[in-house]
């Protein structure tokens, strides 16, 4: 590397909200670009050397990944940079591959449906066996850890918004030699840093809050264990689920504004959750920021905010809940979450959703619009029920 391509060293004193803006930048040299360029290449000059350089081939490494991996690693307070993947599911597939052959995987029954579908497929193939747990029920999870190989945690869960007692579960897993993996997509490292609580590995769907604009599909893994990172890097190289340079550039561009996006969307979420809870046509609301929510005490103790996803039940059945989503004018009826725009979806429309997710449960991913416009839209749609 020449001096203009050396990264600026992040200051250990930087707050995470500063780190996302200032980390992963070229050094402050005259004429150095403020952002790293996007590198479109499939291979690297090796000058005929028998011992190739570090990059070799673009399935092994790409300089465009480096700043994003560095920033995400620092945000999760890891000793090593993150590893980017082509999607959250590609990262999850790499993580699930850590379960030894015939091993036992403890998994929340309300995990992201892709994680459930993939682990069920592995179970059907005889690769592993799943012990489903209620992740909010600490005793249930601890009992399931006996003789297990891997603990999978989501908190808050998608879409039920249950909150786990993360430090207790991770300590219990560690004391039993159970590898712990946390899907931190909902909370983001701004609200919760599982590696600091004892997790071995963190999984992200970068598609959501990290990139933040519903224009990228990408995933990441983060660990402080260098040998585990090497193993996962090897998996990524061999299985080939790498992130495209353009997507990685967009994700880094998106992460720059994550703190202000989350600040705003959380504020909107609190207002909307309170008003939904008081609305006569809404039967139930789950949002950890509500004082009456079963996850409120834990979320207050363990997280630096309550996030921006609300789950609520409205309408007598699936058809009425679908009608409600169809009646939105500003809010977009679409799957996914974590973007600047508010999205709503009846989750049980997916056949892969767990049966315990109510038919009329709507997941609202709250964006950064003016909250009164969002409320007007929710109100007019609810009044049509």
Ligand X SMILES: *Cc1c(COP(=O)(O)O)cnc(C)c1O
Task: Specify the DSSP element, H or E, that contains 245.
Answer: helix 245-255
Judged by beta carbon, residue 156 or residue 245, the one nearer ligand X is 156
Q: Is residue 208 annotated as part of the catalytic site, yes or no?
A: yes
Long-range contacts formed by 173-177: CB under 8 A, 24+ apart? 173/145, 173/198, 174/198, 176/145, 176/146, 176/148
- Residue of 208, 261, 286, 298 marked catalytic: 208
Which residues would be at the binding site for ligand X (CB under 6 A)?
87-89, 112, 114, 154, 158, 183, 185-186, 205, 207-208, 217, 219
Q: Is residue 17 annotated as part of the catalytic site, yes or no?
A: no
The span from the CA of 149 to the CA of 132, in Å, is 14
Beta pairing class for 309-314 and 282-286: antiparallel
The span from the CA of 324 to the CA of 383, in Å, is 9
Judged by beta carbon, residue 22 or residue 334, the one nearer ligand X is 334
Bridge partner list, 103? 128
Is residue 14 classed exposed, middle or buried when 0-12, 13-18 and 19+ CB atoms within 10 A define those classes? middle
Q: Is residue 200 annotated as part of the catalytic site, yes or no?
A: no
The span from the CA of 329 to the CA of 301, in Å, is 37
- Residue of 149, 165, 183, 200 marked catalytic: 183
Least distance between ligand X and beta carbon 320 (Å): 25
Residue with tokens 């059945």: 317
Specify the 3-state DSSP secondary structure of 264. Answer: helix
Judged by beta carbon, residue 155 or residue 371, the one nearer ligand X is 155
Least distance between ligand X and beta carbon 88 (Å): 2
Distance set, CA 231 to CA 66, 141, 313 (Å): 18, 27, 43
Q: Is residue 183 annotated as part of the catalytic site, yes or no?
A: yes
- Residue of 112, 235, 287, 306 marked catalytic: 112
The span from the CA of 155 to the CA of 203, in Å, is 12
Catalytic positions are 59, 112, 183, 208
């Amino acid at each position: 590397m020449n001096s203009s391509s050396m990264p600026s060293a992040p200051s250990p004193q930087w707050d995470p909200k500063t780190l996302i803006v200032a980390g992963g930048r070229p050094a402050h040299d005259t004429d150095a670009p403020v952002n790293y360029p996007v590198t479109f290449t499939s291979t690297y000059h090796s000058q005929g050397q028998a011992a190739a350089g570090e990059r070799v081939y673009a399935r092994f490494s790409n300089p465009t990944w480096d700043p994003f991996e560095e920033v995400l690693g620092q945000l999760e307070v890891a000793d090593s940079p993150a590893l980017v993947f082509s999607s959250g599911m590609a990262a999850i597939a790499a993580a699930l591959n850590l379960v030894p052959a015939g091993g036992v995987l403890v998994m929340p029954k309300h995990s992201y449906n892709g994680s459930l579908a993939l682990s069920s497929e592995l179970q059907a193939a005889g690769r592993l066996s799943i012990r489903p747990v209620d992740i909010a029920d600490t005793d249930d999870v601890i009992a399931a850890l006996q003789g297990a190989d891997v603990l999978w945690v989501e908190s808050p869960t998608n879409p039920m918004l249950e909150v786990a007692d993360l430090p207790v579960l991770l300590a219990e897993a560690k004391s039993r030699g159970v590898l712990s993996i946390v899907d931190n997509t909902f909370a983001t490292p701004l609200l919760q840093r599982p590696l600091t609580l004892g997790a071995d590995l963190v999984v992200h769907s970068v598609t959501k809050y990290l990139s933040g604009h519903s224009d990228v599909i990408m995933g990441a893994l983060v660990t402080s264990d260098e040998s585990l990172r090497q193993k996962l890097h090897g998996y990524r190289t061999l299985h080939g689920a790498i992130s495209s340079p353009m997507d990685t550039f967009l994700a880094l561009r998106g992460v720059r504004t994550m703190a202000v996006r989350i600040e705003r969307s959380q504020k909107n979420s609190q207002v909307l959750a309170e008003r939904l809870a008081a609305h006569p046509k809404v039967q139930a609301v789950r949002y950890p920021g509500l004082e009456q929510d079963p996850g409120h005490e834990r979320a207050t103790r363990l997280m630096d905010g309550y996030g921006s996803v609300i789950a609520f039940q409205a309408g007598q059945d699936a058809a009425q809940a679908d009608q409600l989503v169809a009646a939105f004018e500003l809010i977009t009826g679409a799957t996914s979450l974590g973007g600047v725009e508010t999205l709503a979806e009846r989750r049980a429309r997916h056949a892969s959703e767990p049966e315990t997710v109510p038919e009329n449960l709507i997941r609202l991913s709250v964006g950064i619009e003016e909250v009164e416009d969002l409320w007007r839209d929710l109100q007019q749609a609810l009044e049509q029920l």
